């Protein structure tokens, strides 16, 4: 089983607008409301790909009840710690005239110490039943800055693989616990290296990844290069992944879909080249949908042979 962790869950609302001029009243043409937060996107994609998944984390208030109810209707198993404060709303405004996406993200609730302690106990039990645990998204208020590091250690002690997709201080602190997979962006690679005292001045991206991997002892590090694909360092071997040209409908959720694709590939025990190919195909399939964290299995299958993986 794969477990996904979303500590700062949300209701994700996507608004499709014919145009989005600032300072004016704008009518919404279409709207989708989904249980969101990066980890819930990962869970949904795993479920759509046909794999067993359980979503956990922290939810609160009326918004939290909506999140749980919507997950149940989508046949996604879940086991959350509940708090009183409201889970957040995250808004995505898509201007169809320009193709641009504007996101407005609430900060989220303040998590009490008792809820954090309860969640760690809950995760210890779930990790013992899981092959992979995916940690995604920001840390809510009240959770320690090393929150992901604490959780990753719990997961690894239970014998499961830990995947981490976050940013900023949460990424820096979480990386110290040696997760099995991380997905930083290009800027964050330099920050991680600087934090570990690794000179990164004139290094090429591939060499920087190799040095980071050796120092951090993280088996799989992938850096997204946007439309150019991604660069992965897997056990000191570099791979360049090139996606096919796409007419993207909505790119929000592509990174989460990549994590989902990587998780199901690892669950199957596929060779690394096949893992990277499948993860990229799942990410590309998400870009063809009008909602974040959705894929069509037929799209994944059609895109798979178009993904080029080159060992460098």
CB contact at 8 A, 304 and 266: no
What is the layout of strands, in order, in the sheet containing 30-36? 30-36, 10-17, 88-95, 100-105
Alpha helix positions (H), 38-158: 38-48, 61-73, 113-127, 147-157
d(CA 236, CA 241): 16
CA separation (Å) from 212 to 171, 215, 234?
A: 14, 5, 11
Superfamily of chain region 2-20+29-311 = Ribokinase (3.40.1190.20)
Closest by alpha carbon to 300, among 49, 43, 42, 47? 49
What is the rounded CA–CA span in Å between residue 227 and residue 224?
9
Do 293 and 282 form a contact (C-beta atoms < 8 A)?
Answer: no
3-state secondary structure of 297: helix
3 state DSSP class of 130: coil
The number of beta carbons lying within 10 Å of the beta carbon of residue 119 is: 22
pTM equals 0.92
pLDDT tens over the chain, length 312 residues: 999 999 999 999 989 999 988 889 989 999 989 999 999 999 999 999 999 999 999 999 999 999 999 999 999 999 999 999 999 999 989 898 988 889 899 999 999 999 999 999 999 999 999 999 999 999 999 999 999 999 999 999 999 999 999 999 999 999 999 999 999 988 888 888 888 877 766 677 788 889 889 989 999 999 988 777 899 999 999 999 998 888 877 778 899 999 999 999 999 999 999 999 999 999 999 999 888 889 999 999 999 999 999 998
CA neighbor of 137 nearest in space, from 282, 40, 45:
40
Indicate the domain borders of the chain.
2-20+29-311
Contact status, residue 276 vs residue 254, Cβ threshold 8 Å: no
């Amino acid at each position: 089983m794969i477990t996904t962790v979303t500590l700062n869950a949300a209701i994700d609302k996507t608004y499709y607008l014919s145009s989005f001029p600032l300072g004016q009243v704008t009518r919404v043409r279409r709207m989708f409301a989904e249980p969101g937060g990066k980890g819930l996107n990962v869970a949904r994609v795993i479920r759509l790909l046909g794999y067993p998944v359980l979503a956990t984390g922290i939810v609160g208030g009326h918004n939290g009840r909506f999140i749980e109810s919507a997950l149940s209707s989508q046949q996604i198993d879940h086991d959350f710690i509940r708090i009183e404060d409201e889970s957040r709303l995250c808004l995505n405004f898509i201007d169809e005239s320009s193709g641009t996406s504007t996101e407005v993200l609430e900060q989220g609730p303040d998590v009490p110490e008792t809820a954090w302690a309860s969640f760690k106990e809950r995760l210890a039990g779930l990790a013992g039943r899981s092959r992979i645990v995916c940690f995604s998204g920001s840390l809510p208020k009240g959770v320690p800055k090393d929150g992901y590091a604490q959780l990753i250690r719990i997961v690894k002690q239970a014998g499961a693989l830990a995947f981490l997709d976050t940013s900023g201080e949460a990424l820096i602190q979480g990386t110290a616990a040696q997760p099995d997979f991380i997905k930083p962006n290009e800027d964050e690679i330099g920050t991680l290296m600087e934090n570990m005292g690794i000179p990164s001045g004139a290094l090429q991206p591939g060499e920087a990844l190799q040095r980071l991997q050796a120092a951090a002892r993280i088996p799989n590090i992938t850096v997204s290069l946007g439309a150019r694909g991604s660069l992965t360092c897997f056990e000191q071997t570099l791979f360049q992944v090139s996606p096919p040209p796409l007419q993207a409908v909505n790119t929000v959720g592509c990174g989460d879909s990549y994590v989902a694709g990587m998780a199901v590939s690892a669950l199957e025990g596929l060779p690394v080249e096949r893992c990277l190919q499948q993860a990229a195909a799942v990410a590309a399939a998400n870009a063809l949908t009008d909602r974040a964290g959705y894929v069509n299995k037929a799209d994944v299958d059609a895109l798979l042979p178009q993904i080029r993986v080159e060992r460098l």
